[in-house]
Amino acid sequence: MMTEAVTNLYAGLDLHKSNVFCGIKDQAGQPIYRRRLPAELPTILQALEPYRPQLKALAVESTFNWYWLVDGLQAAGYPVHLANPAKMEAYSGLKQTDDESDALWIAEMLRLDILPEGYIYPKAERPIRDMLRRRLLIVHQATQTLLSLQSMVTRHTGQSVSAAKLKGWTLKEVRATFAEAYSQETAAAMLELLGQQQRIQHGLEKQVLAVVKLHGPFVRLLSIPGIGNILGLTITLETGPIARFAGAGQYASYCRTVDSRCDSDGKQKGENNRKNGNKYLAWAYVEAANFAQR
């Protein structure tokens, strides 16, 4: 129960696929609420409502499915923070941890102002960025389809066909290459799949480019050797407002362009977490460096 002496409250929400554990602490660090709730926004809002007047801050920890909860809490007027799971470490003195202790630890770090935070990408622009991410996924899938079809040709004929030539194949080339009916059907299906993947890929590119092409950062990126439309779009959307980074070093680290290593007495003793950061920006800058050398 809350008392009049309590002035500030801090909530930690440990979000899972089907439920969320909510823990609330007062300004002295004492737990005043702990409960597992279904992953339903109305239920969560109802549970938080009695504490709203004194709730100074609220933090959500989730690895992938936080959009709906963070957006819903922000729309309801709550001061929301997004915890960074890659940097979250439980108190080392604990012998046992569970969802309850995790939620309360999130609230405790929020109370102490030591919560490692992730960036809450603006809701209006997030779908555009995610569309470009799905475009990259489809590119990878199309590459797998193409390589599979190339290996099929080599297996059956002993000959190799370039990717550029294979992309221009029709049923005529399929029938001329494969003698067996089942092999023809398989190759034709893969060729059709490849065409669909490429059409979807180009369609997504066109939609994203129509929205982003007038952005100042995107236009300036295109002046850099090695950066074209796709890499420019990726860097623009994945970076977001550049002001969110304290300096060039922090941004370089976020792009995974900083060496990750632990040195002691002049010797390398191991590595830090080299996966911290944005894999899409890491890919984009590597591609840009390669293209710039051509």
Determine the pLDDT at residue 261.
62
Is pLDDT of 4 > 60?
A: no
Cα end-to-end distance, the chain, whole Å: 68
Whether 101 and 90 have beta carbons less than 8 Å apart is answered as yes
Calpha distance 216→221 (Å, rounded) = 9
Calpha distance 223→157 (Å, rounded) = 45
CA-CA-CA-CA torsion sign (225, 227, 229, 235): negative
Task: Map tokens 């108190």 to a residue.
Answer: 91
Determine the pLDDT at residue 214.
72
Determine the pLDDT at residue 70.
98
- For the chain, the three-class secondary structure string (H helix, E strand, C coil) is CCCCCCCCEEEEEEECCCEEEEEEEECCCCEEEEEEEECCHHHHHHHHHHHHHHEEEEEEECCCCCHHHHHHHHHCCCCEEEECHHHCCCCCCCCCCCHHHHHHHHHHHHHHCCCCEECCCCCCCHHHHHHHHHHHHHHHHHHHHHHHHHHHHHHHHCCCCCHHHHHCCCHHHHHHHCCCHHHHHHHHHHHHHHHHHHHHHHHHHHHHHHHHCCCHHHHHHCCCCCCCHHHHHHHHHHHCCHHHCCCHHHHHHHCCCCCCCEEECCEEEECCCCCCCCHHHHHHHHHHHHHHCC
Per-residue pLDDT of 181-233, as tens digits, reads 999 999 999 999 999 999 999 999 999 999 987 788 999 999 999 999 999 99
Per-residue pLDDT of 85-127, as tens digits, reads 888 776 555 545 789 999 999 999 999 999 999 999 999 999 9
Whether 103 and 13 have beta carbons less than 8 Å apart is answered as yes
The tokens for 251 are 């941004």
pTM for the complete prediction? 0.84
Region 158-178 average pLDDT: 94
Confidence of residue 1 (pLDDT cuts 50, 70, 90): very low
Beta carbons within 10 angstroms of residue 256's beta carbon: 19
Confidence of residue 269 (pLDDT cuts 50, 70, 90): low
The tokens for 285 are 């800058």
Determine the pLDDT at residue 215.
80
Task: Map tokens 């550049």 to a residue.
Answer: 242
Beta carbons within 10 angstroms of residue 94's beta carbon: 10
| Crossing angle for the helix pair 279-292 and 229-239, to the nearest 10 degrees | 150
- Residues in Cβ contact with 291 at an 8 Å cutoff, skipping those fewer than 6 apart: 225, 226, 227, 228, 231
Task: Map tokens 């046992």 to a residue.
Answer: 96
Is pLDDT of 153 > 60?
A: yes
